[in-house]
Structure 1
Amino acid sequence: MRWCTAAGVTGALLVALAQPAAAEVVVDQEEVRAEAMAMAPDPEYLADAEPAARAVAAEYGIPASVTAGQSVLESGWGRSALAVNHRNYFGFKCTSAGPGPIAVDCAEYPTTECQPECAPTVATFRVYESMTDSFRDYGRLITTSPYYADALPHADDPDRFVTEVAKRYATDPRYAEKVIALMVQHDLYRLDSPE
């Protein structure tokens, strides 16, 4: 599944904390990712994400630098509608079976999906009680889905790990390059060392 940029949604992507989780907010992951790359770093977000990323590393063996980098890219430094309203820092959707074992609910949002033609649709996204739960679900998904099995042997090489994950995580051919750029620019590799 590929996310496309829908015209006229730029201003709707990043929302204030006070905004309700209304269906009129459009989820456009390509736009969120573009905004994340252009934004100034948010030390407060990184301070909140660091313990969650380290916990994923301890529980699932995923490099904390990769988890933090992907969360920055997928949530626009924690400012996307999904992150603000539903603590969903990775853009995960619900499945036909529901929210899964960690998420607590599903929330509908208008979005645009391309398969291969782009069209507006409504999708259900996972709702979490906390940032920690969102990060744990990321760790669970990456380590249990056969889509990402090729990444797991490279846990000691964050760049290679995210390169393997990116092959199935996103259709953007520059996805891994973007995550690696965030890891380099914001010294996220330091999260892979013991505290």
Structure 2
Amino acid sequence: MKVKILLCCLFILMLSNCGSSKKTVKSKTKTTHKEIESKVENLPDVHGDEHIDKLEEGSKRLNENSLEYIKKYAAIAVREMHLHSIPASITLAQGVLESGSGRSELASKSNNHFGIKCHTDWQGKRVYHDDDEKGECFRKYKYVSSSFKDHSLFLTQRKRYAFLFTYRVTDYKKWAKGLRKAGYATDPRYPAKLIRIIEDYKLHDFDRIKQDGFKYESNIEEGEEDNNEEVHFYTVKKGDTLYSIARKFKVSVARLKQINNLRDNIININQVLKTE
């Protein structure tokens, strides 16, 4: 009898110990980098109104939505050309084609004018659309200008597009064919479509606009997050290496790779790098 009582006491004691030794499991929170978008306000005068007026005076019938799109975004395309050496004609033609002159669902709801998908390095907002496959992930922007900027970074920071920057900024035909060759689009008629848009709307005129000392600034909109740190950029020149750039700006190679989302040490001429 005493043995039974003793066993019962031990059993109760074990239960109480188990209850008191339960650990509290804390949920893990994943920290993601918040993309800070800024609205571009200071833009060069590209005489967009005059350009459109001349086109409308011509005998060729052109799409009104495309004319309006070019008039609205030509200055941003020229800005990106001056900063990243991508022909303004190519950027505008891609915008017209990829976004349906800004009227596609992806452009109108997500400000994504170039059909750029999320990929593994994207940490900004996302939206899902059917494209080559069902429910594919695309990037979402607060401003259209952010889409133009991201388009430039998309081309300058991927080595498969590096050979494009050996072409002159005025050689839109080579750029159009090169984009298809690099895999930007799967449509075999993609280069011809871009070239036709450029020539129909005389977008090559914008490729000849010089910067002439015009200085670009990025302004944070009121109410946006601002980290109060000045961001510096450097355009890669012939003979540069990550090591030489790191020494020049007194940062480590590892840090350069981190802030520029580089997976290896390969950089290309005209590639724009953050240097802190």
- TM (norm. structure 2) is 0.50
User: Residue deviations 1:81-112, cap 9 Å, x none?
Assistant: 0110011000011123434xxxx411122x14
| 1:80 lines up with 2:93 in the alignment | no
Q: Name the counterpart of 1:166.
A: 180
Does structure 2 retain, via aligned residues, the 8 Å contact 1:41–1:186?
no
Give me the whole-angstrom Cα distance separating, in 2, the residues matched to 1:176 and 1:63.
14
Residues 94 and 184 (structure 1), Cα distance of their counterparts in 2 relative to 1, 3 Å cut: same
Give the letter aligned to residue 161 of structure 1.
Answer: W
Map of 1:185 onto structure 2:
200
Matched length: 146
Secondary structure at the residue paired with 1:183?
A: helix
Separation in structure 1 between the aligned mates of residue 99 and residue 142 of structure 2, nearest angstrom: 16
Indicate the residue corresponding to 1:70 in structure 2. Answer: 94
Deviations 1:146-191 (A, max 9, x none): 1211211113311111211121111111101100000000111111
**2:81 alignment partner in structure 1:** 57
Alignment deviations for residues 44-102 of structure 1 (CA, whole Å, 9 cap, x no partner): 21111101101110110001001000110000011000110011000011123434xxx
Give the superposition deviation at 1:40: 1.8
Structure with greater strand percent: 1
Higher RCO, Cα 8 Å, sep 6+: 1
1:105 and 1:122 map into 2 onto residues whose CA distance is 15
CA distance in 1, matches of 2:155, 2:101: 21
- 2:154, 2:131 → 1: CA distance? 23
Equivalent position of 2:126 in the other structure? 106
Residue 150 in structure 1 maps to residue 163 in structure 2: yes
Give the aligned partner of residue 68 of structure 2. Answer: 44
In the alignment, is the contact (CA less than 8 A) between 1:71 and 1:90 conserved in 2? Answer: yes
Structure 2: distance between partners of 1:150 and 1:88: 25
Larger Rg: 2
State the Cα RMSD in Å: 1.6
Superposition misfits of 4+ residues, deviation over 4 angstroms: none
Gaps of 5+ in 2: 1-61, 211-276
Structure 2: which amino acid aligns with 1:189? Answer: H
Partner of 2:139: 126
Are residues 74 and 112 of structure 1, via their aligned partners in 2, closer, same or farther at CA, if it must alter by over 3 Å?
closer
When residues 98 and 144 of structure 1 are mapped into structure 2, their CA distance, relative to the original with a 3 A threshold, is closer
Checking the alignment, whether the CA contact within 8 Å between 1:65 and 1:158 is kept in structure 2 is: yes
Give the 5 Å matches for 1:8-19. none
2: CA distance, partners of 1:121 / 1:173: 22
